[in-house]
Amino acid sequence: MSPQFFTIFLRLIEPNHKKTMKKLTVLCAPVIAIALTSFGITASAQSVRNEKNISLELANQIASASVVACAANGYAVTATVVDRAGTVRAVQRGDTAGPHTLDASRQKAFTSASAKNTTLAMMEGSQKNPAAANLVFIPGYLLLGGGVPIKVGNETIGAVGVGGAPSGNLDEQCALSAIEKVKDQLK
């Protein structure tokens, strides 16, 4: 029931309702606080978040598996894995991967983690939607295929970016293959 209901009710039964409302507030506040605390609800609970993030071990596994998947198809690539905030956790560079693949893979991973989407999907969306075309102006963003978010359920815990295959969709296939290999750890 709303506080307005109690105010109207108290006006009807008691002429000095303001004092009664204050008394009710003073008496009920501790009871409500105890009840909320017993259910695990506190005011500070909203200020602290628990978030999942990618471990160094898992990041290394995904980076390595991405490079191996591409090498099996004859592509020399670099794979970078970032955490949920876009900070680099692991980098693997194939023996003959070009020097440009380091920055490309990092930017793809950052873009994917930041947007929680594949960079290939973002690139295609920006080509179809003039408003999304401005995404290329965000510092650190690279809208080329090869960036894939790493998720536990619906929560993005990081991303992998692969650069160096002949096209972005091939980079993405290597990243997806690597994530598939560790899917049992993403629970």
Do 111 and 167 share a domain, yes or no? yes
Are 148 and 82 within one domain?
yes
Residues 136 and 101 in one domain: yes
Structure tokens at 3: 């506080």
Please check whether residues 66 and 151 belong to one and the same domain.
Answer: yes
**Claim to verify: residue 63 and residue 39 sit in the same structural domain:** no
Say if residue 88 is in the same domain as residue 109. yes
Contacts of 64 (CB under 8 A, 6+ apart): 79, 92, 178
Find the domain containing 108 and state its range. Answer: 56-185
Q: What residue has token string 């978030």?
A: 51
Same-domain check for residues 134 and 153: yes
114 and 29 housed in the same domain: no
Q: How many domains does the chain have?
A: 2
41 and 65 part of one domain: no
Please report the pLDDT score of residue 46 as a whole number.
75
Residues 37 and 67 in one domain: no
Closest CA to 157 of 91, 108, 107, 112: 112
* Helical H segments across the chain, by residue range: 3-13, 17-38, 56-72, 100-115, 119-128, 168-181
Let me know whether 81 and 161 are in one domain: yes
Same domain, yes or no: 101 and 151: yes
pLDDT tens-place string over residues 21-80: 566 555 555 556 565 555 555 555 579 989 999 999 999 999 999 999 999 999 999 999
pLDDT at 98: 98
pLDDT of residue 36: 54
Query: What is the CATH number for 89?
Result: 3.30.450.150
Phi and psi for 163 in degrees, rounded to 5? -140, 135
pLDDT score, position 7: 56
Arithmetic mean of pLDDT over the chain: 87
Sheet of 88-93, strand order: 88-93, 78-83, 155-163, 147-152
